[in-house]
Structure 1
Amino acid sequence: ASGGAAAVGKKTAKAGKTDKADKARNGTRATVLVQLVPQGNRTLVGELESPADVKPGDSVLLSDAGWRPAAQGMRIGVVESEGALDANPLRRRITVRMESDPLRQSRVVVKVRVSGQGQGARSTGAAK
């Protein structure tokens, strides 16, 4: 999930218990899938069903078919907050704080869609 807000786009992520430390602390809980949208300031937000078992401090792992298989399951952040949506009381909003600041990385991967190419182009380079 590096590349800055413009390159992050919508990401599908697993929010909930995802690593051994969380398992020891929280017990066994189901994985929850949520669409995350960048909000700037290293945060992503998403909406989920109200009974979803997601708590601040839970790990968030990448689960997006648009990324290479090697990237699946990489930790992209941690749930910073969780609360009710005023517009729809049956759904909840989570805020995820990204693990690292993409602007401080020495290398990032930027995925763009090139006209006429179905999968997009892949480019790596130094962060500016």
Structure 2
Amino acid sequence: MFHQPNCVTQFIMRHFLDDKDWFEQIYLPENLCRLKSARDRIISFLESQGIPYVRPRAGFYILADFSKFMDEQSIEGERRLCERFIRKKVLINSGEEIKAPKSGWFRIVFSSISPSTLEKCIQINFN
């Protein structure tokens, strides 16, 4: 579902965005720094677990191959793995949802959670 923010939010954001100096000198560099930090954390975790991934060059998410944790290399195996993630309160997009060419690939959005939440998520043992 796509819709625009409510009027109050638009009004407030307009004032932030009108301040070009603040946007370019403070907001944008800080936002890029936070995105890079979150990306680097998830990459570090994936590498420590030997999980293949597609290195993001920009954006808010990373594609990772969790197929080695599937009990069966099929869409059904991917669904069961997705259920395991959900039971551990980790919600990521399955390959089936994102139309991945192979079962086991998941999309992890790393930009919309706090660093502490990301740390908790990456501590989960997937075995």
Structure with greater proportional strand content: 1
Fold agreement, TM-score > 0.5 = no
Give the TM-score normalised by structure 2.
0.30
Give the TM-score normalised by structure 1.
0.30
Structure with greater proportional helix content: 2
